[in-house]
Amino acid sequence: MAKQLDNNQTVLSLADQVYTSYRQRKRNEQTRVLTVQLVTLTFLLSLWEVAGRNAWIDVLLFSYPSKIGTLLLDKLIDGTLLPHVGITVAETIAGFLLGTLCGTAMAALLWWSPFLAKVLDPFIVVMNSMPKVALGPLLIVGLGPGMPSIIAMTLAVTVIITTLVVFNSFKEVDPNYVLVVRLYGGSRASLFTSVILPASLPTIISTLKVNVGLSWIGVIVGEFLVSKQGLGYLIIYGFQVFNFTLVIGSLAIIAIVATCMYQAVSYLEKLLMRRR
């Protein structure tokens, strides 16, 4: 008995060592990846700075990092930058959340009613192929030139894609899981909550990542059309006055905030997958 316990403890100790070694290798790999990314970014920014200062590129069009940073810092100090950033981030988060929720709900409705899915299938395909910018004038007239029309533009970009991706994920759930629930007398509601939705969770998380970029596209396009405030407005204004440093600076802010949103979704994915 004592020998058996010793053998079990030895096996557990070896398993713990293997797991610890695996975690350490993963951490080392993540550190190397992050280091290479930072070195690459630093090199590209440095090259851009040198090229701008030595007039290797057209500074009027492409500017350079220190000039962009100075402009953004000046606007931050005089209080004219944060209102634009705040309104665009608020619109993007609202469109991102609403687009994901509405698209997932629509996918659930189509899964719940196969007849409705067949009826709506050609309409969804047509709506997905329609250029969303063309909806701009209709949204402006219908909702007014403000935040509602911008969020509506974001929904037009995100909802259909979310619906298609999530609905296909619902349909591709292992039929054996569905069969087991039905054999035990499970209702369609319990089937959805206990099998379909949990099995599709990775796809929904992946859709969240895609919707981060799509939400920014929808908001910026909407601000191009109607807004008098926001990062999209700054880009249009910079183009109109030939201040391309402002244009690139606004794009840099969009890239930074979009990266933060993407990392937040990735962190949420780790939490959900760990619990799952």
Q: What is the DSSP string of 45-75?
A: HHHHHHHHHTTSS-HHHH--HHHHHHHHHHH
More confidently predicted of 73 and 204: 73
Would the pLDDT of 8 be above 60?
no
What homologous superfamily does CATH list for 60-275? MetI-like (1.10.3720.10)
Q: How far lies 172's CA from each of 227, 231, 259, in Å?
A: 41, 40, 31
Where do the domains of the chain lie?
A: 2-57, 60-275
Mean pLDDT of the 191-212 span: 85
More confidently predicted of 154 and 182: 154
Q: Identify the DSSP state of 195.
A: I
* d(C-alpha 138, C-alpha 228), whole Å: 18
* d(C-alpha 155, C-alpha 140), whole Å: 14
Q: Which pLDDT score, from 0 to 100, does residue 26 have?
A: 79
Mean pLDDT of the 175-180 span: 79
Instruction: Please work out, in degrees rounded to the nearest 5, the angle formed at the alpha carbon of residue 58 by the alpha carbons of 54 and 60.
Output: 110
What's the whole-number average pLDDT of the chain?
A: 85
pTM for this predicted structure: 0.83
Q: Which pLDDT score, from 0 to 100, does residue 89 have?
A: 92
* d(C-alpha 218, C-alpha 229), whole Å: 15
